[in-house]
Structure 1
Amino acid sequence: MKKKFSFLLVLLLALTTFLAACGGNNGNSANGNSNSNSGNNGGGEGEEQKEERPQVLNLLESSEIPSMDSSLATDQVSFIVMNQVYEGLYRLGENDEAVLGMAAEEPTVSEDGKTYTFKIREDAVWSNGDPVTANDFVYSWKRTLNPDTAAEYAYIMYDIKNAQKVNSGELPVDELGVKAVDEKTFEVQLETQVPYFKALLSFATFYPQNEKFITEQGDQYGLEANTSVYNGPFVLSDWKHEQSFQVKKNPDYWEADVVKLEEINWNIVKDTATGVNLYETNKADTVGLSAEFVDQYKGDENFKTREKTSVYFLRLNQKNEVLKNVNARKAIDMAWDKEGMVQVLLNNGSIPAYYLVPKNFVFGPDGADYRETNGNFNETDVEAAKEAWAKAKEEEGFDEVSLELLNYDSESSKKIGEYLKEQLESNLEGLTVTISQQPFKQKLDLETKGEYDFSFAGWGPDYPDPMTFVDMFVTDGAHNQMAYSNPEYDKLVEDAKTTLLGDPEARWEALLKAEQILFEDAAISPMYQAGASYLERPYVHGILKHAFGADFTYKWAYIE
């Protein structure tokens, strides 16, 4: 993500607002002018009439949408919005089950489990009136894997036959294992069986694309509301960059009759106090809470919490002369108090992380939680950190060093950055930490280019398997972004993707071992597994919250 989301900054407002939140109300839109009580309006002669609320949902987001191009998007903000306005062969329904989207029926699958044949809905159309066809999937997937596109998420499609070779330029794009048998029949060939394939197909990178429209838009595609074309429950109707964005119900969607919301509005707000004020003045239907507001509102009847599967961590860029040293990385990882950060700065249900793969996310062949089996790594130990730091100084020949922390520009991120600076400078003699606050899109760009020392990052899962976290850090991986490399790690990941797919126990062991190696190398410094504390209006129903992929689905949401 989910990612990932790369994804949604941290806690609070980052969530397009934490979940089932929101709802439009009686004028509770951004220019709201009436109260949020669901009460009754008096009728004549003592009659009471229930107040009708428009099907309008008002949300908050902490960031601009980085991209509406499903081939190029890598972050959770983009994925959440795209999940409302685009649709793949499947989308996620209740309990994160993959339900039919553009696919009219379940596919025909070959005996070896490697060839899927899908029928595209006859009534599926784009918002410009064009039919959604099998070629829209062929074009989209080839475009993503074409090396000229430089799609960071191309690797998520490597289960498709020849995908990796196409993406690396070893084979022409036409050798990709996809084809349009006819206008409404789409065939996919895989390299090997993929147990989570249907869920994977709900992810944004697998959405269809309208070739004619994209060609017409050229390099403007996906940059404005009117330079994209939509096939989902909603259409992006307005996009004021760095201020707000809006979606409206898509009347041409194949299942428009089940879509109740007429409009969803997001305001971009970077600090909690402003968000809470918008909520209190009925201009937002939900708001994420930072530590001080949790204490203030935890007795409120509309206060809620949610456990998430997103994990935040420090990327330690090994291009840096100091951070290429394993002892320096171990020192940084063990030198700061994660429990204190979570309790004092977050206070929202987040828990300290000493791991990469989150708790309560995936379970092995024996039924055990991956996290329970692998346990914790490199817990806070200031004395051990000081010893490791002294070794690094001796090995690399430095007494003093300055490292820059690349950070998000949200309010909570700033506090966390200052906390890290204080902890690391106090416990690691000779270290000076400077902080570079960057807007979300620019921060992602700097990470992609590797132009940073260490960075505050996060990842939400894209599909229900440990691999969605573990394969981030293979050598030269698109989301590695920190020059980490370990051949044994790479081999375990490769085996878990290929030769071990027929042996669930051995594959699970390989994925467990890979995470162990990652922390033996102190490749990252995990921070916390996210939780969310928030306020939401009681009249909103039907918003789906997901453990992987886009955080939210509003297709079935409604205002009571």
Structure 2
Amino acid sequence: MIKKILSIVIFSFALISCGGSNEVIPLTINVGSEGRTLDPQLATDSTTTVVNTFLQEGLTRLDVNSKKIVPGLAKSWDLSKDGLVWTFYLRDNIKWSNGDEITANDFKYAWLRALNPDTASEYAYMLFPIKNAKEYNAKKVKEDEIGIKVINDKTLEVTLNSVTPYFTSLTSFLTYLPVNEKFIKKVGSEFSLEADKILYSGPYKMVDWVHNAEMKLEKNENYYDKDIISDHKVVLKFIADSTAALNIFKNDELDVVALSSEQYEKFKDDKRLHLVEDATIWYLGFNHMNSSVLKNRKIRKAILQAIDKEKLVEIATNGISKDIYNITPTGVGIEGFKTNDFALEVGETFSRFNKEEAKKLLKEGMRELNIDKMPTLSLIVNDGGVNKKFGEIIQEDLRKNLSIDINVELVTFKERLARTNAGDFDIVLRGWNADYKDPLTFLDLFVTNGGNNSGKYSNKEYDESIRIAQTEKDPKKRFEALKKAEKIAGEDVIVAILHQPKKLYLVNPRVSNYAFYGIGVKFDFTRAKVKE
């Protein structure tokens, strides 16, 4: 009897020690600063894109193993002979997290919502390949003239303006995600602001959200592919400071963490390290409309040529990033050419460091503006990663080489987004990652009145080149239009291109079956396996 009691006590102690035999340790990932909204049609930041890979799914998605576009909520699709009409067939067993059926109308409603000018979606232009989408966004046509047609609950027909080979890549993107009209009308302006104000179509649903701290997720039992989703919970942490995040990783409280370039040296031989070539540009955005001096092309070019980019990336990123001289970074394809790399085909379009030429250009620009002293300019930099170091180096280069005083304003990620969107800046340090594998993902950022054209640059010749690139069927003519836009960007110094980064991640070896991407979403752990 004593032995039996002792055995029970020991067994009970073992259960307490390990947290209970049924406890599954969550997969914990740091995703950086919390974005400003989870609303698919309003979100623009990379953190929200990552979060939504867990919570939502579109017609198509990126496959973890092949890194190719595969069926998502659509089981298949057809393309007409002329390449203009895509017909998507939805799966039979797809439901929202509340049990309601996901239908073709959920996609149509979401896309029209993004295009409605009253929504003010910065990513509305992502839908412009669709017939009359741009015209509807400009209030020139009616809703029923847009090339989006619901054939029945399980069939969606989409007519495009021109042949768009990468359209199934677009349909995996954030802005193309479905939303439920009935649910949005029910929760109104509170949509997407809290865990219970969202419906989920993806592999996970949110069960708790402490803003700017963490989200707790668990498997969505209504997800069509739930059987291959592990039972472990997922915790997404919002930690902007890379040092703090790394310390938490070292304490085994994080499974996935991004490294800064400063931290790379200590981990360059670590088997847990993943080095990812990133189709991203970092640049200085100029306020072309509200700055009295930055509207002058020669002054913008002087600023660009006064920054020693080779030194900048060597000091700020330990040489991991590379200095670049195009709007479009390497790694972005262009069909029909030997290298399948647009930047290599076009060649450099932005000027290199030349402080003597920069001084000359500044004097000429000031003369054109009839001023004899440059005002102090503000440079907005958000407080994550090595951004502060970038700001300080740029500040010193412009002081030393041009005698321009720069006031570096260190702000939160959310504030940087808000001020950039409001046009409340002189210069802003920002990055842009390829949403899909085509040069337009970068070049159409700067069309007149574009949703992400926060600097308000405007050039009719540039706009026309982009229009041709969006509609031209002949690959060579399309390439020439894209090349012309790239050349104008460099000549006009729309922005000051700085560098193309590599992403650095540490992953706990207990985690498997995941992927990192250079284009689109940063990574995908939705189908990860976790050893306990």
- When normalised by structure 1's length, the TM-score is 0.87
- For residue 189 of structure 1, what is the aligned residue in structure 2? 159
Counterpart secondary structure, 2:135: helix
Among candidates 46, 62, 73, match of residue 92 of structure 1: 62
For 1:171 and 1:292, the matched residues in 2 are separated by 52
Residue 261 to residue 65, structure 1, CA distance change in 2 (3 Å): farther
Residue by residue over 1:118-170, the C-alpha shift from the partner in whole angstroms, topping out at 9 and shown as x without a partner, is 22111000001100011111111111111111111111111112111111111
- For residue 243 of structure 1, what is the aligned residue in structure 2? 213
For 1:53 and 1:332, the matched residues in 2 are separated by 57
**1:82 and 2:52 aligned:** yes
Query: Which one-letter code corresponds to 2:264 in the other structure?
Result: V
Q: Say if 1:361 and 1:547, in contact at 8 Å, map to a contact too.
A: no
- For residue 401 of structure 1, what is the aligned residue in structure 2? 375
Query: Which one-letter code corresponds to 1:412 in the other structure?
Result: V
Residue by residue over 1:415-469, the C-alpha shift from the partner in whole angstroms, topping out at 9 and shown as x without a partner, is 211111111111112x111122222222112112211101001111111111111
- For residue 13 of structure 1, what is the aligned residue in structure 2? none
Query: Which one-letter code corresponds to 2:433 in the other structure?
Result: G
Among candidates 121, 128, 133, match of residue 91 of structure 2: 121
Residue 289 to residue 118, structure 1, CA distance change in 2 (3 Å): closer
- For residue 119 of structure 2, what is the aligned residue in structure 1? 149
Aligned-pair CA distance for 1:175: 2.6
Counterpart secondary structure, 2:279: strand
Counterpart secondary structure, 2:376: strand
- For residue 132 of structure 2, what is the aligned residue in structure 1? 162
Counterpart secondary structure, 1:104: strand
- For residue 322 of structure 1, what is the aligned residue in structure 2? 293
| 1:250-329 correspondence to structure 2 within 5 Å | 250-260=220-230, 262-319=232-289, 320-329=291-300
| 1:358-397 correspondence to structure 2 within 5 Å | 358-368=329-339, 369-376=341-348, 377-396=350-369, 397=371
RMSD: 1.9
For 1:224 and 1:196, the matched residues in 2 are separated by 33
Aligned-pair CA distance for 1:287: 2.5
Q: Say if 2:276 and 2:516, in contact at 8 Å, map to a contact too.
A: no
**1:65 and 2:35 aligned:** yes
For 1:54 and 1:525, the matched residues in 2 are separated by 48
**1:456 and 2:426 aligned:** no
For 2:319 and 2:210, the matched residues in 1 are separated by 30
Aligned-pair CA distance for 1:257: 1.0
Q: Say if 2:376 and 2:406, in contact at 8 Å, map to a contact too.
A: yes
Counterpart secondary structure, 1:96: coil
Residue by residue over 1:29-62, the C-alpha shift from the partner in whole angstroms, topping out at 9 and shown as x without a partner, is xxxx99xxxxxxxxxxxxxxxx999463211132
Aligned-pair CA distance for 1:497: 0.8
For 1:132 and 1:215, the matched residues in 2 are separated by 16
| 1:45-56 correspondence to structure 2 within 5 Å | 54=24, 56=26
- For residue 493 of structure 1, what is the aligned residue in structure 2? 466
Q: Say if 2:299 and 2:362, in contact at 8 Å, map to a contact too.
A: yes
Aligned-pair CA distance for 1:255: 0.5
- Percent identity of paired positions between Structure 1 and Structure 2: 36
- After the TM superposition, which parts of structure 1 deviate over 3 Å for at least 4 consecutive aligned residues? 51-55
Among candidates 416, 428, 433, match of residue 402 of structure 2: 428
Q: Say if 1:143 and 1:149, in contact at 8 Å, map to a contact too.
A: yes
- For residue 4 of structure 2, what is the aligned residue in structure 1? none
Q: Say if 1:279 and 1:285, in contact at 8 Å, map to a contact too.
A: yes
For 2:441 and 2:480, the matched residues in 1 are separated by 16
Query: Which one-letter code corresponds to 1:108 in the other structure?
Result: D
**1:468 and 2:438 aligned:** no
The structure whose RCO (Cα within 8 Å, separation 6+) is larger is: 1
- For residue 26 of structure 1, what is the aligned residue in structure 2? none
Counterpart secondary structure, 2:212: coil
- For residue 457 of structure 2, what is the aligned residue in structure 1? 484
Residue 422 to residue 210, structure 1, CA distance change in 2 (3 Å): same
Q: Say if 2:57 and 2:201, in contact at 8 Å, map to a contact too.
A: yes
Q: Say if 2:214 and 2:237, in contact at 8 Å, map to a contact too.
A: yes
Residue 52 to residue 346, structure 1, CA distance change in 2 (3 Å): farther
Residue 334 to residue 271, structure 1, CA distance change in 2 (3 Å): same
Q: Say if 1:96 and 1:547, in contact at 8 Å, map to a contact too.
A: no
Residue by residue over 1:299-336, the C-alpha shift from the partner in whole angstroms, topping out at 9 and shown as x without a partner, is 43323322111111110111211101111000111111
Among candidates 194, 197, 219, match of residue 224 of structure 1: 194
Counterpart secondary structure, 1:152: coil
For 1:480 and 1:237, the matched residues in 2 are separated by 36
- When normalised by structure 2's length, the TM-score is 0.92
- For residue 174 of structure 1, what is the aligned residue in structure 2? 144
Aligned-pair CA distance for 1:97: 1.5
- For residue 416 of structure 1, what is the aligned residue in structure 2? 390
Aligned-pair CA distance for 1:401: 1.4
Query: Which one-letter code corresponds to 1:144 in the other structure?
Result: A
- For residue 503 of structure 1, what is the aligned residue in structure 2? 474
Aligned-pair CA distance for 1:364: 4.0
Query: Which one-letter code corresponds to 2:120 in the other structure?
Result: A
Q: Say if 1:86 and 1:230, in contact at 8 Å, map to a contact too.
A: yes
- For residue 6 of structure 2, what is the aligned residue in structure 1? none
Q: Which ranges of structure 1 fall in alignment gaps of 5 or more residues?
A: 1-32, 35-50
For 1:79 and 1:398, the matched residues in 2 are separated by 46
Query: Which one-letter code corresponds to 1:308 in the other structure?
Result: D
Query: Which one-letter code corresponds to 1:420 in the other structure?
Result: I
Query: Which one-letter code corresponds to 1:517 in the other structure?
Result: I
For 2:159 and 2:467, the matched residues in 1 are separated by 19
> Which shows bigger deviation, 92-101 or 472-481?
92-101
Q: Say if 2:278 and 2:519, in contact at 8 Å, map to a contact too.
A: no
For 1:543 and 1:246, the matched residues in 2 are separated by 19
Aligned-pair CA distance for 1:298: 2.4
For 2:73 and 2:463, the matched residues in 1 are separated by 35
Counterpart secondary structure, 1:401: coil
- For residue 492 of structure 2, what is the aligned residue in structure 1? 521
**1:557 and 2:531 aligned:** no
- For residue 9 of structure 1, what is the aligned residue in structure 2? none
Counterpart secondary structure, 2:487: helix
Residue by residue over 1:85-125, the C-alpha shift from the partner in whole angstroms, topping out at 9 and shown as x without a partner, is 111110111443211111122x2333322222222111000
- For residue 44 of structure 1, what is the aligned residue in structure 2? none
Residue 278 to residue 110, structure 1, CA distance change in 2 (3 Å): same
Aligned-pair CA distance for 1:525: 0.5
Counterpart secondary structure, 1:418: helix
Query: Which one-letter code corresponds to 1:405 in the other structure?
Result: L
Query: Which one-letter code corresponds to 1:421 in the other structure?
Result: Q
For 1:195 and 1:303, the matched residues in 2 are separated by 34
- For residue 102 of structure 2, what is the aligned residue in structure 1? 132
Q: Say if 2:56 and 2:177, in contact at 8 Å, map to a contact too.
A: yes
Q: Say if 1:341 and 1:416, in contact at 8 Å, map to a contact too.
A: yes
Query: Which one-letter code corresponds to 2:402 in the other structure?
Result: L
Residue by residue over 1:186-216, the C-alpha shift from the partner in whole angstroms, topping out at 9 and shown as x without a partner, is 2212222211111111111111111111111
